[in-house]
């Protein structure tokens, strides 16, 4: 009888580390596997049970989330050579339009920044502008160091890929002022009271605390949406998706296209300007 033990999960975690998976990816894989084990309730592990679990999560999660969870399980099964337990992902039609209800606008971003300013949270005020003006991933924010601000560029090493992110002059000027005021001598600029770099959960919580006073829907407020706003703004001006892919650190422009999708209302306004309707 096959059984998923803590020892097997630990070994898989060590394997992910050896494969140089990011800490966020590693955490997600383990979380998905642990959730599956909890759902099993000690039942025998077989293909039918995995298929039952698939149907269970299909009823509760969006298709993309389902596929992400199944990917974690399939990777775990492959690592243990339980190939017959792997299940197929859902087929998802490529999304054409962005979800307007989750798309952060420039005006809403500015409202969030003003809310942080009103709360005298200079760190959060500058943090949001740093991500939004550079296109950084939240996981890359620790690369914004005192040294990087002085050089006006951050060296990013993400999943073995190296790239340089340019930090705007005006941003560096205000960051240097913040650095002097906080007496930060070296290392990451955005840190906790204990001096550790702020992580995704810290930033998520801080941004959510601004929603009510900023008058912005909570569904729109999360760190990655700042990167999306950067991408849409850049593409709206330059119309160069290849260059944007390089800036964002994407291996494929297909990933970048997700960032540049317009909502259906913007698309409607564009096609109504074509002048092809005769009536």
Q: What is the CATH number of the domain that holds 40?
A: 1.10.150.130
Percent of the chain with pLDDT over 90: 78
Domain holding 81, by residue range, is: 6-85
Query: Closest Cα partner for 148 from 128, 170, 175?
Result: 175
How many domains does the chain contain in total? 2
At residue 95, the pLDDT reads 63
**For residue 83, what pLDDT is reported?**
96
DSSP per position, 214-237: HT--GGG-SHHHHHHHHHHHHHHH
Answer with the one of 34, 54, 85 that is the final residue of a domain: 85
Distances (CA, A) of 205 to 184, 221, 277: 23, 10, 49
Claim to verify: residue 104 and residue 234 sit in the same structural domain:
yes
Kindly report the average pLDDT of the chain as a whole number. 92
122 and 208 housed in the same domain = yes
Kindly state whether residue 195 falls inside one of the protein's structural domains: yes
Residue that finishes a domain, picked among 56, 85, 114: 85
Confidence of residue 97 (pLDDT cuts 50, 70, 90): low
- At residue 94, the pLDDT reads 66
- Domain of 182, CATH number, reads 1.10.443.10
Residues 15 and 131 in one domain: no
The partner residues of 263 in beta bridges, in order of sequence, read 98
């Amino acid at each position: 009888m096959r059984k998923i033990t803590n020892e097997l999960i630990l070994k898989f975690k060590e394997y992910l580390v050896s494969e140089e998976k990011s800490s966020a990816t590693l955490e997600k894989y383990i979380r998905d596997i642990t959730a599956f084990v909890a759902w099993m309730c000690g039942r025998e592990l077989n293909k039918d049970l995995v298929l039952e679990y698939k149907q269970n999560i299909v009823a509760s999660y969006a298709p993309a989330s389902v596929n992400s969870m199944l990917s974690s399980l399939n990777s775990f099964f492959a690592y243990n050579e339980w190939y017959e337990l792997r299940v197929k992902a859902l087929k998802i039609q490529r999304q054409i339009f962005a979800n307007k209800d989750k798309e952060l606008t420039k005006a809403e971003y500015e409202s969030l920044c003003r809310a942080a300013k009103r709360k005298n949270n200079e760190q959060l005020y500058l943090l949001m502008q740093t991500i939004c003006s550079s296109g950084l991933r939240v996981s890359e924010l620790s690369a914004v160091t005192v040294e990087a601000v002085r050089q006006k560029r951050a060296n990013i090493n993400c999943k073995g890929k190296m790239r340089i992110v340019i930090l705007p002059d005006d941003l560096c000027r205000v960051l240097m002022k913040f650095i002097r005021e906080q007496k930060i001598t070296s290392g990451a600029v955005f840190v906790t009271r204990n001096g550790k770099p702020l992580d995704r959960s810290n930033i998520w919580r801080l941004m959510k605390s601004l929603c009510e006073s900023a008058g912005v829907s909570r569904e729109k407020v999360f760190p990655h949406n700042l990167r999306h706003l950067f991408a849409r703004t850049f593409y709206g001006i330059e119309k160069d998706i290849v260059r944007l892919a390089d800036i964002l650190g994407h291996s494929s422009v297909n990933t970048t296209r997700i960032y540049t999708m317009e909502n259906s209302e913007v698309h409607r306004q564009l096609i109504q300007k074509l002048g092809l309707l005769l009536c």
